[in-house]
A = this chain, B = another copy of it.
Amino acid sequence: MNRQITLASRPVGYPKESDFNLVEAPMPTPGDGEVLVRTIYLSVDPYMRGRINATKSYAANVEIDEVMIGSVIAEVITTKHPDFKVGDIVNAGIGWQEYGVAAGDGLRKIDPTIAPISASGGILGMPGLTAYFGLLEVGKLQERETVFVSGAAGAVGSVVGQIAKIKGCRVVGSAGTDEKVAYVVDELGFDAAFNYKEVDDYNDELQRLLPDGIDVYFDNVGGSITDAVFPNLRIKGRVAICGQISQYNLEKPEMGPRFLWFMITKRARIEGFLVSEYADQHAEALVEMAGWLREGKLKYRETIEEGGIENAPAAFISMLKGGNIGKQLVKIADLSS
């Protein structure tokens, strides 16, 4: 049998475990050109919160009783596609389940000799690519500029800051615990960071840590941290909007101070993006990222929930509340070999 997590009800505010069901389903059978995979790691990501609302996000929503959407790191156990053999490791968008069938065409194969396969869900996967393209393509970061990143200890933010350091920039981050602040400064090499739960005036803090202003703001969280950025943008500053996790679990939309006037005085730019827009450059970027990883210029941590698929909802909720450092994964099974 296969086990799956389905959406039981649409969450109001933060999701609860009761918003999800654990169900059994027959083992799926691959057709021609398909592979059957067994999930090793399941990825839980902030974007998923938007996909379980009633209102459409940027892609189709999960319907009630449907399997939760998402990407897994999985092992091929039956193959009907010439490019894949049993034992290959792949990233597959089969959602939250122990087994799934995926079309071989377009399936991304993971090279387990570059890094542990879990990295393909984080620094060498979608979060790492999101950091890379958001900072370099959307943010158009230049050498020796100043960067501020919110959600600095998360799967994306932690990579943003390190790439900015590789580019010779001054980097400041915000995060939600002292442990995270210490991690990004002491281990990842950020120039400074602050615990947003302990700081009263974000504007003062940004002026203190980035007295010359901010060239590029990489926004993962939104809300009042983001409000404080606009007065501190430099002329021709850029704001890459990656996520707004502070807003995803509100029961009603929040109000905030209007800031568009600053866009004129700073001649600044705000741009939202999805990593999928850069799909044709992903492979090339991963080569560069893998090189930085090998050279020790990129480091990463993962937060891995070990308890199997039944713990995916708890891991998802914990991640939404900032319980993770680096990429949050759920371990579903061991590799066969």
Name the one of B247, B262, B271 contacting A269, with C-beta atoms under 8 angstroms. Answer: B271
Interface string of A247-283 (1 = CB under 8 A from B): 1000001111110111111111111111001000000
Q: Report if A260-B226 is in contact (Cβ < 8 Å); known contacts: A267-B274, A268-B272, A271-B268.
A: yes
Taking A256-B258, A258-B222 as contacts, is the C-beta distance between A272 and B263 under 8 angstroms?
A: yes
Closest residue of chain B to A233 (Cβ to Cβ) is B272
The answer to whether A244 touches B261 (Cβ under 8 A) is yes
Contact between A243 and B255, CB atoms less than 8 A apart: no
Shortest Cβ distance from residue A14 to the other chain B in the assembled complex, whole angstroms: 17
Chain B residue contacts of A247, Cβ below 8 A:
258, 260-261
Query: Which A215-264 residues have C-beta < 8 A from chain B?
Result: 219, 222-223, 226, 241-244, 247, 253-258, 260-264
Taking CB atoms, residues of chain B closer than 8 Å to A277 are 267
Inter-subunit contact B258/A223 (CB<8 Å)? yes
Please indicate the chain B residues that have their CB under 8 angstroms from the CB of A50 in the complex: 261, 265
Residue A2 CB within 8 A of the other chain: no
CB distance from A50 to the nearest CB of B (A): 8
Docked pose: A261 CA to B57 CA in angstroms? 9
> Given the complex of chains A and B, what is the CA–CA distance between A265 and B273 in angstroms?
8
> Smallest distance from the beta carbon of A60 to chain B beta carbons, Å?
12
Which residue in chain B gives the minimum CB-CB distance to A238? Answer: B271
Contact A267 B273 (CB under 8 A): yes
A242 to chain B, nearest CB (A): 7
Report the bound CA distance from A30 to B274 in whole Å.
58
* Distance between A68 CB and nearest chain B CB, rounded to angstroms: 19
Distance, CA A244 to CA B257, complexed state (A): 14
In the bound complex, CA of A243 to CA of B263 (Å):
10
Chain B residues with Cβ below 8 Å from A58 are: 264-267
C-alpha gap A269/B267 in the complex (Å): 13
Query: Could you tell me if A265 and B256 are in contact, using CB atoms closer than 8 angstroms?
Result: no
A274-B264 CB under 8 A given contacts A253-B257, A257-B253: yes
Q: Name the B residues within 8 Å of A264 (CB-CB).
A: 58, 241-244, 272-274
Residues of A within 8 A of B (CB): 50, 57-58, 219, 222-223, 226, 241-244, 247, 253-258, 260-274, 277
A sample of 24 inter-chain contacts (CB < 8 A) reads A50-B261, A50-B265, A58-B264, A58-B265, A222-B261, A223-B258, A241-B263, A243-B264, A244-B261, A253-B257, A254-B257, A255-B256, A260-B270, A262-B272, A264-B274, A266-B272, A267-B271, A267-B273, A267-B274, A267-B277, A268-B272, A269-B271, A270-B270, A270-B271
